[in-house]
Structures are given as structure tokens and as C-alpha cells.
Structure 1
């Protein structure tokens, strides 16, 4: 039965509404800490005695309540004993799917400079080494090239969008010319009418 009360059924583990709460007593906590300190002191005394006699060939198992730091120090003192189980295999077995990149030294690297190509020589530019681009970079360059080509064709009026724009602009220009002509005619008619009245 959980500390928080009977059946938890979908609630958090120890919190039942209105249920009693369990708190540790301060005296009990202090007593446990004192016991841990005494165990540590006893282990330190035993280890110092063993080091003095030199009879310690195998580390003693850490007592209940000992910290992980002490168990690590006892493992460090005895490197001769092989680790059993899966932990021992972890360092020995290499994953064939994992590619480990070794650090390369600068002096070991070779930089091959290709001979100038005909295109580079014709433009007068420096030779450019062909680079192996990844897929994203290739697609980005291709998209940029297509966009530049499209803008050039659009400026020359060869695209469908440019042709429709030009047709629309021609219609608007024609409408404006007709409106200007109509205003001019109305202005002349008004001037003629004013001249007749005077």
C-alpha cells in the first residue's frame, strides 16, 4: 500500500487528496548521517592499516551506505582484476557501424592544386579547385542559377509572366490615353461654350 493512502488510480504516486503526508524525523536523519560517518571512518582506518601491512590484494566490497566516491577509489586501487559482465565488454568490442574520425596533423595533409583549366585561363581568373558539394549546396546553387536565368528572360520579355504584364500595361496605357483625350475634348468643349457666352 503506498505511503499516500490506498489505490492511486490515475493520481500521482504519493499524493492522495486529503491523505496524510509522511515526513522524516530530523532526529532520524541526523542518526543516519552519524552512522554513515562512522562507517566511512572505519573503512578509512581499515584501508590505512591494509596499506601499512601491504596484505591487501583484493579490495573489500563497499559496505551498505558507502558513497560512490569510495567505491570508485577502491576500483582504482586494483586494476589487475578484469571487470565481469557487460561493463567489461564495452571497452573491448568496437561498433563496426561507428566511423571514428582520427585527428589529422597539419604536416600530414597534402594540398593538391590542379592545373589551370581552359575556362579559368580564358577568363583570366585563378584556377579554382573543383569541390565536392553536398546535395543541399548543389540544390541551392541550381536554384540560384535558375532564378538568375528567369530574371534575365523576364527582363527581355520572354517569359509568360512578362508577356502578360506587358499586355496588361498596354491596356492600361491605352485606357489612360483615351481618358486624357476625353479630358482634352471636354476642356475644348468647355472653352468653346465659354467663348460663345461672352
Structure 2
């Protein structure tokens, strides 16, 4: 089966769109080609499956049909070489079983108080009429929520320390793929990401 998608020349504006505005570019492609499509070519070829049926197919019903490491290798710099998100096969299954209890409905319901507490903590720091950097503030809030819910309050109190160490790595991962030079030179984002992860 061949998935629908743009012609070779049609990939050029899509490549620019993925750099400038990836979310809206994917929405436009979905409207044009449906929930399953392809774009790009060669080593920069992508297959996209969208929607609840695709999520269920990939994540629940047929996870062994897909390899995570190749698709998510950019995350190794942040999560490490043996992380669940970049492992496959039996190692992935073992790690998945270890973390699954943290994502059960009962556990997630227990996180609501932490979410409310951290959100209120962030909002309380804002004052009427002042300018805030929502991206930065909410990113820190989400990081504190994740650390407190997954590792408890002891490590949660060190969330800023962890966040500052990983900020360069996360910034690197959030760059478009073609800007992620994996050169260990002091002026590259890769160098900063490695340094931040080691801290």
C-alpha cells in the first residue's frame, strides 16, 4: 500500500513549513491527504498517522511493529541511551512495565492536587499589569509537576536545578531536525546539550 502525499517538488514548501510552523503544516497535510500520509524523501522521509485509531494501532495494538529508537533518537541526548522512549523489544517491554503503575487512572487522579498546587504557585508569582513569559513560566510549572508526581516532593524541591541542567538539551531537541548538528564543538547546541545532561 502506498500512502498519499506530495510530489517530490511539493515537498519543498512542506519542508519550509515544517521548519517555520510544523503544527499548522501537519494540519494542512491532514486536510489534504487524510489521517495517514507521507512526505519528504530519502533519509528525510516521514510517515504520519494521526487520530485516535492510529494512536491505538501504534501504541496499544501493534507496538512490536514499530521501532522507537530510530524515530526518537534525537531524545537520547535528553533521556539517555537506555530510556524507555528510545528502547525497543524486550528492554522496552521491561521498562514499560516498570513505569506503567505511575500512569494508571488512580495514580493520575492523585496527581491533580500537585497540578493545582504548582499552577497556583506559578500564578501567585504574577502581579497585575506585569509582563510574564508564559512559555518559560509554564515550562517550569510542567517540569515541577512531572518531577513531583514521578519522583516525590524531595526531588520535586530540586526541580529548578534539574530543569536548568536539562534546559540546553531540551532546547536542542526542540530545534528542527536539520539544525541539530551532532558535533561536539563548543559553539553547537549539541555540545551544550551534552554538557547540560552530564550536570
TM-score normalised according to structure 1 size? 0.20
More strand by share: 2
Q: Which has the higher contact order (CA 8 A, sep 6+)?
A: 2
Instruction: Please identify the structure whose Cα radius of gyration is greater.
Output: 1
More helix by share: 2
